[in-house]
Amino acid sequence: MPELMDPSMPSGLNLVWLVLLLPLAGFLFQAAFGKAIERAFGKSTGRRILGFMAVLPIAAAFVIGCILVSHIANQPENARVAISTWFDWINLQSIHIPFELRVDPLSLTMVLIITGIGALIHLYATGYMADDKDYPRFFTYLNLFIAFMLMLVLGNNLALVFIGWEGVGLCSYLLIGFWYEDIENAKAANKAFIVNRIGDWGMALGMFLIAVVFASSQTLLGGETRYLSFDVILPLAQQVVGEWGGAVVWAIPLLLFIGAVGKSAQFPLYLWLPDAMAGPTPVSALIHAATMVTAGVYLVTRCHVFFEMSAFAMGTVAVIGCFTAIFAATIAWGQYDIKKVLAYSTVSQLGFMFLACGVGAFSTGMFHVTTHAFFKALLFLGAGAVIYAMAHNQDLRNYGGLRKYMKITYGSMLMGWLAICGIPIWAGFWSKDDILGKVFASNEYWHSQGWAINPVILWAIGLATAVLTAAYMTRMFWLTFFSGEERWRNLPEPAHVHHHAQHHEHDDHHDHGHDEHGFFIEYVDEHEDGQDHDHHDLGPSHEPNEVKPAMWFPLVVLAVLSTFGGLILSGGYPVTEVFGAHTTNLFKEWNAVSAQPTVLPAKEMFKVSHSTEAVLILLSIAAGLLGILWNRARYKKGIPQNEDTKLRRLAGSQWGYDNAMVKTFVDIGGKFSDAFYKIFDKGVIDTLFVNGIPWVVASTGKLIRKTQSGFVRAYAMAILIGALAIASYIFYSISR
C-alpha cells in the first residue's frame, strides 16, 4: 500500500483548506449581504465595499498559495505530495470517498493561476461591471466560480474533481446567462451546460470504470476502499490496469478524455465556447480562456498514467488536439466579432495543449496552460477595454485607429499579441515552440508504437496553425488599433435603441379585491423603473477613451507576465540547449513529480539533435513572422475590398458544423420528440390501451346489455373484476 501521507510534512499545509474556503466565504458574503450593502451605503460606496470584498478573498488565497508553494518547494522532489482529509463525504462499505485535498506541484500551479489571474480579473471586473444593475450578483457568481475551480484542482479524488467540474460548469452557465433578459444569452448558457454534460457523461463513466476495476483487484489494494482517490489509484494504475488488459486499458483514458473534450472545448464538443462569449467580458477572460477551459488539460495531466498505458488513447488525444487547433484557427480567421476571434483562438490554443499531452509532453502542455493564461486573459481583458470604450460594440469593422485613444490598452495588448504570435522573447513563444519541438521529436517513438498518423504530420499541421494564429491575431490587432481610418465615424448617427428590454410599463390596474387569495399574496403596486444606463451607440460623434485604473492596472500586470513570464519560467529552454548552455527549466522541474511520464520512456522518446532543434526553433519563429507580415500588409489600409469572400464566410460559419448539429439535435430531435409524445405516449399507450380497453368493454357491454350508465369507470370496474377472476383462477390452479 503506497502511503503518501507523510506525517513529517509541515503542518502549514493545512492552510490549503483556507485557499478553498476563502472564495467560498466571499461567495456567501456577496450572496447574503450584497444587496443589503448596496442599499445601505448607496450605490457608489456600496459597490466599492463589495468590489473590495470580492477581490480580497481571492487575493488572500493567492498569498496562501504562494506560502504553500514555498513550503513544498523546500521538500525533496518525491515528498512534494501531501493529502489533507477533512470528513467523509460518501462512506459506504463498497466505496469510500472522503473530502480530501491534495497539495502537490500540479495542483499548486493551477491554484496560483486561478487565484492570481482570478484576483486580477476580479479587480478588472469592479471597473467593467461598475454600472451594471446586478453588480452583487455578478461577484456572487464569480467568487463561487473560483471556489469550485479550486475544488477541481485540489480534490484528491475524482469525485471531488467532479464536484468542481460540474460546479464550474454551473457558474459558467450562470455567468454566460448573466444578462438573461436577452433570451439569446440564456440559450447560449443552456448550450454550454448541456454540451458540457455530454462530456461529463463520459467522465462519470470513466470514474465508474476506474472504481470497479480497482475494486475487483482487492489483492493489490489490500482492503483500501478509496477507489477514486489519486493517492490510491495513480501509483497502482500500471499494475491494476495492466493486469486487466483488454479494452479497460484504452477505455479508461478515452472516457476521461471525453470529459476533457467537453470542458476544454475540443472538437466535436467545442460548440458551446463561441456562444459562451455572450457573458460579460471578464467572465470570458477568467472562465472561458484562463482557467475553466484548461481543466481538461489538468485532468489529462493529473491522470496521465492512465493515458500513457494506451498508445491508442494517446494518439486520439494528439489527433483531436491537433485537428481542433487548425480547425478553430481557420474559423477564427473568418470572424468579425472581436470576442469570437479570441474564443476560437482559445479553442485552437487548447488544441495545442492536448497535442502536447498526446505525445507525452504533459509538463509542456501545462506550461502552455500557464503562458496561455497570461496572454489570453490579457487579450480578453484588453478586448473588454476596447468594447467598453466602444459602447459595447464588438464588430472589428467598426473599430480602427484606436491606439491614439487608448494608449495603455494598446501597449499591453501589443504584448499579448506578440505573445500569442509566438515571437521571442514573449511568453507564448516558449511554450508553443516547446510543444512543436516535442511533437517533432517524438516521431520515432510513436511511429514504433504503431500510430496511424506520424507525429511529423501533426507537427506540420501545428506549424501551419502557428502561421494562421499569427495571421488572424494580426488581422484583429490591426483592424482594432491601426488601419488608418476610424471606421465608427462612418456609421450613421444612431437612433435611440434599447439593447435589453428593461423598461417596464407602468401597470395601473391592480385587482386586489378580486383576488380570492389576496390575503396571502401581495401584488406589486408600483414599479421601480429599470435603471437603464445610458446606452449610447457608435457614430460620428463617438469619442473612445482610455479605461479607468481598476481596469488598466490588471492589463499592465498581465502584459508584464506575458512578456517575461515564459522566459523566466522556462529558463530559456529549449533555445539555451541549442547553444549548449544549461539553465534551469523552473517550470518543468517544479512540476516533474506530478507531470513527468511514468510509463513512457520520457528521457529517450524526445531525443533530437541540437541542429534539428535549432531548425525547429527557427521554423516556429518564421511561422509567427510570416503570419504577422502577411496580414499586416493586408490590413494596413483598412478592410480590403475582397474581405467578405465565400471562403471566409464558410469558415466563419464553422464550416457549417454548428448549423448541422443544431439542425440535427435541436430541430429534428425536438420535432421527433414532440411527435413521439403525441403519437406514442398520448396516442398508443394512453388512448389505445389505457382508455381503449375500457372503451372496448363499454362498447361490448352496450351491445350485449344496452346498459345506460355512460360512465367509463363502471365498465372499467368490469375489467378489473374480469382480470381478478382470471388471475385468481391461474393462481388457484398453481397453488393447489
Q: List b or e across 224-263, with b for residues whose CB sees 16 or more CB atoms inside 10 angstroms.
A: bbbbbbbbbbbbbbeebbeebeeebbbbbbbbbbbbbbbb
**H or E, element range at 98:** strand 96-103
Q: What is the closest distance, in whole angstroms, from the C-beta atom of residue 434 to another protein in the complex?
A: 35
| Residue from 219, 611, 642, 708 binding another protein (CB under 8 A) | 219
Q: Which residues ranging from 626 to 685 are in contact with another protein (CB under 8 A)?
A: 670, 673-674, 676-677, 681, 685
**Calpha distance 589→586 (Å, rounded):** 5
Q: Which residues ranging from 82 to 101 are in contact with another protein (CB under 8 A)?
A: 87-95
Please tell me the count of residues contacting another protein according to CB under 8 A: 89
206 binds another protein (CB under 8 A): no
Instruction: List the x/- string, 687-726, binding to another protein by CB under 8 A.
Output: ---x---x-----------------xx--xx-xx--xx--
Q: What is the closest distance, in whole angstroms, from the C-beta atom of residue 145 to another protein in the complex?
A: 14
36 binds another protein (CB under 8 A): no
Q: Which residues ranging from 225 to 244 are in contact with another protein (CB under 8 A)?
A: 243-244
Instruction: List the x/- string, 513-552, binding to another protein by CB under 8 A.
Output: ---xx--xxxxxx-x-------------------------
**Calpha distance 33→53 (Å, rounded):** 11
Phi and psi based region of residue 501 (left: phi greater than 0; alpha: psi -120 to 50; beta: remaining): beta
How much is the CA Rg of the chain, to the nearest whole Å? 30
| CB closer to another protein, 447 vs 713 | 713
Q: What is the closest distance, in whole angstroms, from the C-beta atom of residue 503 to another protein in the complex?
A: 10
217 binds another protein (CB under 8 A): yes
| Residue from 138, 141, 193, 380 binding another protein (CB under 8 A) | 193
170 binds another protein (CB under 8 A): yes
**SS3 string of 291-345?**
CHHHHHHHHHHHCHHHHHCCHHHHHHHHHHHHHHHHHHHHHHHCCCEHHHHHHHH
| CB closer to another protein, 183 vs 495 | 183
Q: What is the closest distance, in whole angstroms, from the C-beta atom of residue 328 to another protein in the complex?
A: 24
Question: What is the residue type of 287?
Answer: I
> DSSP of 574-612, one letter per residue?
THHHHTT-----HHHHHHHHHHS-SSS-HHHHT---HHH
From 12-20, 177-185, 335-343, 579-587, give the range in contact with another protein by CB under 8 A.
177-185
| CB closer to another protein, 633 vs 666 | 666
Alpha helices per DSSP H over 334-404:
338-358, 362-389
> Where do we find the cell 510534512?
9
| Residue from 14, 75, 190, 238 binding another protein (CB under 8 A) | 190
167 binds another protein (CB under 8 A): yes
Q: Which residues ranging from 244 to 303 are in contact with another protein (CB under 8 A)?
A: 244
| CB closer to another protein, 505 vs 604 | 505
Q: Which residues ranging from 412 to 441 are in contact with another protein (CB under 8 A)?
A: none
| CB closer to another protein, 185 vs 348 | 185
| CB closer to another protein, 272 vs 445 | 272
| CB closer to another protein, 129 vs 435 | 129
From 169-177, 283-291, 545-553, 590-598, give the range in contact with another protein by CB under 8 A.
169-177
Q: What is the closest distance, in whole angstroms, from the C-beta atom of residue 206 to another protein in the complex?
A: 11
312 binds another protein (CB under 8 A): no
| Residue from 187, 489, 548, 648 binding another protein (CB under 8 A) | 187
**Calpha distance 56→404 (Å, rounded):** 34
> Where do we find the cell 476544454?
264
Q: What is the closest distance, in whole angstroms, from the C-beta atom of residue 205 to another protein in the complex?
A: 6
201 binds another protein (CB under 8 A): yes
Beta bridge partners of 84: 101
Q: What is the closest distance, in whole angstroms, from the C-beta atom of residue 28 to another protein in the complex?
A: 12
Other CB atoms within 10 Å distance of the CB of residue 712: 13
From 55-63, 180-188, 418-426, 542-550, give the range in contact with another protein by CB under 8 A.
180-188
Q: What is the closest distance, in whole angstroms, from the C-beta atom of residue 642 to another protein in the complex?
A: 40
Give the three cell numbers for residue 579. 547553444
| Residue from 200, 231, 308, 613 binding another protein (CB under 8 A) | 200
Tell me the three state secondary structure of residue 85.
strand
Q: What is the closest distance, in whole angstroms, from the C-beta atom of residue 169 to another protein in the complex?
A: 9
Q: What is the closest distance, in whole angstroms, from the C-beta atom of residue 692 to another protein in the complex?
A: 12
Q: Which residues ranging from 474 to 503 are in contact with another protein (CB under 8 A)?
A: 500-501
| CB closer to another protein, 213 vs 329 | 213
Residue 89 has φ and ψ, to the nearest 5°, of -85, -70
Give the three cell numbers for residue 148. 469550485
| Residue from 6, 131, 507, 532 binding another protein (CB under 8 A) | 507
CB half-sphere exposure, 381, CA atoms < 13 A: 41
**SS3 string of 64-84?**
HHHHHHHHHHCCCHHHCCEEE
Tell me the three state secondary structure of residue 146.
helix
| CB closer to another protein, 14 vs 190 | 190
CB 696 within 8 A of CB 688: no
208 binds another protein (CB under 8 A): yes
1 binds another protein (CB under 8 A): no
| CB closer to another protein, 161 vs 332 | 161
Distances, alpha carbon 442 to alpha carbons 87, 370, 379, in Å: 44, 23, 32
**Calpha distance 26→52 (Å, rounded):** 10
| Residue from 20, 159, 283, 331 binding another protein (CB under 8 A) | 159
What secondary structure letter does DSSP report for 276? G
**H or E, element range at 636:** none
**Calpha distance 243→234 (Å, rounded):** 15
Other CB atoms within 10 Å distance of the CB of residue 667: 10
